[in-house]
Amino acid sequence: MKTSIATVSLSGTLGEKLEAIAAAKFDAVEIFESDLVTYSGPPADVRKACGELGLDIVTLQPFRDFEGMPAGQRERAFARAERKFDVMHELGTDLLMICSNVSPESLGGIDRAAADLHELGERAARRGLRIAFEALAWGQHINDYRDAWEAVRRADHPAVGLVLDSFHILARGTDLSTIRSIPGDRIFLVQLADAPKLQMDYLSWSRHFRNFPGQGELPVLDFMKALQATRYDDALSLEIFNDQFRSGSAHSVAIDGHRSLRFMFDQLGTGTIDLPPRARPEGVSFIEFAADDQDAPRLEMLLSGLGFRRAGQHRSKAVTRWTQGDINFVVNREKEGFAHSFNLVHGSAVCALGLEVANAARTFERATLLLDQPFHQPVGPGELDIPAVRGVGGSLIYFLDKASDLGRVWDIEFAQTEFGQAEFDQAGDAGHETGLTRVDHISQSMQYDEMLSWLLFYTSLIDLNKVPVQEVADPGGLVRSQVIEADDGALRFVLNASQSQRTQSSRFLSELFGSGVQHIAFATDDLLATVARLERNGVKLLQIPENYYDDLEAKTDLTPDQLMTFRNHNILYDREGAAEYLQVYTQTFEQRFFFEIVERRGYRGYGAANAPVRLAAQARLSTDAP
Ligand code: MG
Ligand code: MG
**pLDDT tens track for 399-437:** 999 999 999 999 999 998 755 455 444 444 444 899 999
- For residue 237, the model assigns a pLDDT of 98
d(CA 371, CA 355): 19
Output the CA 32–ligand 1 centroid distance in Å. Answer: 11
Render 432-476 in DSSP notation, one character per residue. Answer: G---EEEEEEEEEE--GGGHHHHHHHHHHHBS-EE---EEEEETT
d(CA 479, CA 497): 6
- For residue 430, the model assigns a pLDDT of 46
Looking at residue 610, its amino acid is N
Output the CA 434–ligand 2 centroid distance in Å. Answer: 19
Output the CA 197–ligand 2 centroid distance in Å. Answer: 26
d(CA 391, CA 375): 10
Output the CA 213–ligand 2 centroid distance in Å. Answer: 28
Q: Residue 493 — left, alpha, or beta (φ > 0 → left; ψ -120 to 50 → alpha)? A: beta
Query: pTM (2 decimals)?
Result: 0.94
- For residue 626, the model assigns a pLDDT of 40
Output the CA 229–ligand 1 centroid distance in Å. Answer: 21
Ligand closest to CA 136: 1
Ligand closest to CA 167: 1
d(CA 75, CA 88): 20
d(CA 404, CA 409): 10
Output the CA 172–ligand 1 centroid distance in Å. Answer: 14
Buried b / exposed e over 589-598, threshold 16 CB at 10 Å, is ebebbbbbbb
Cα-based torsion angle of the residue sequence 451, 455, 458, 461 in order, rounded to the nearest 10 degrees: -130
Output the CA 576–ligand 2 centroid distance in Å. Answer: 16
CATH code matching the domain that covers 281-427, chosen among 3.40.50.2000, 3.10.180.10, 3.30.590.20, 3.20.20.220: 3.10.180.10
d(CA 607, CA 575): 8
Output the CA 573–ligand 2 centroid distance in Å. Answer: 12
- For residue 107, the model assigns a pLDDT of 97
Alpha carbons within 13 A on the beta-carbon side of 541: 25
Percent helix, percent strand, percent coil in the chain, to nearest 5:
40, 25, 35
Ligand closest to CA 61: 1
Output the CA 452–ligand 2 centroid distance in Å. Answer: 20
**H-helix or E-strand spanning residue 353:** strand 349-357
Ligand closest to CA 99: 1
- Residues for the chain: how many in total? 626
Ligand closest to CA 600: 2
Alpha carbons within 13 A on the beta-carbon side of 193: 26
- For residue 427, the model assigns a pLDDT of 43
What residue ranges of the chain are covered by domains with CATH 3.20.20.150? Answer: 2-268
- For residue 428, the model assigns a pLDDT of 43
Give 312-367 pLDDT, tens digit per residue.
999 999 999 999 999 999 999 999 999 999 998 888 899 999 999 999 999 999 99
Ligand closest to CA 163: 1
Output the CA 619–ligand 2 centroid distance in Å. Answer: 16
Give 489-537 pLDDT, tens digit per residue.
999 999 999 888 888 888 888 877 788 899 999 999 999 999 999 999 9
d(CA 398, CA 375): 9
Output the CA 77–ligand 1 centroid distance in Å. Answer: 20
Output the CA 392–ligand 1 centroid distance in Å. Answer: 32
- 602's CB contacts (< 8 A; 6+ apart) are 578, 579, 580
d(CA 76, CA 57): 27
Q: Spell out the long-range contacts of 462-466 with Cβ–Cβ below 8 A and sequence spacing 24 or more.
A: 462/278, 462/279, 462/281, 462/355, 462/357, 462/363, 462/486, 462/491, 463/278, 463/279, 463/280, 463/281, 463/487, 464/281, 464/491, 464/493
Closest CA to 319 of 306, 309, 329: 329
d(CA 305, CA 285): 21
Q: DSSP letter at 550?
A: H
Asked if 455 and 495 touch (Cβ cutoff 8 Å), the reply is yes
565 burial via Cβ count (<10 Å: 0-12, 13-18, 19+): middle
What residue ranges of the chain are covered by domains with CATH 3.10.180.10? Answer: 281-427, 436-624
Could you say which residues of the chain have pLDDT below 70?
418-431, 623-626
Output the CA 195–ligand 2 centroid distance in Å. Answer: 27
Ligand closest to CA 615: 2
Q: Which residues surround ligand 1, an ion (CB under 5 A)?
A: 165, 191, 239
The domain at 436-624 falls in which architecture?
Answer: Roll (3.10)
- For residue 19, the model assigns a pLDDT of 98
d(CA 56, CA 49): 10
Give the CATH class of 2-268: alpha beta
Output the CA 153–ligand 2 centroid distance in Å. Answer: 55
| 195 Cα distance to chain centroid | 13
Output the CA 134–ligand 1 centroid distance in Å. Answer: 7
Q: Which residues surround ligand 2, an ion (CB under 5 A)?
A: 521, 596
Buried b / exposed e over 208-226, threshold 16 CB at 10 Å, is ebbbbbbbbebbbeebbeb
Output the CA 163–ligand 1 centroid distance in Å. Answer: 8
Ligand closest to CA 441: 2
d(CA 618, CA 437): 25
Output the CA 122–ligand 1 centroid distance in Å. Answer: 24
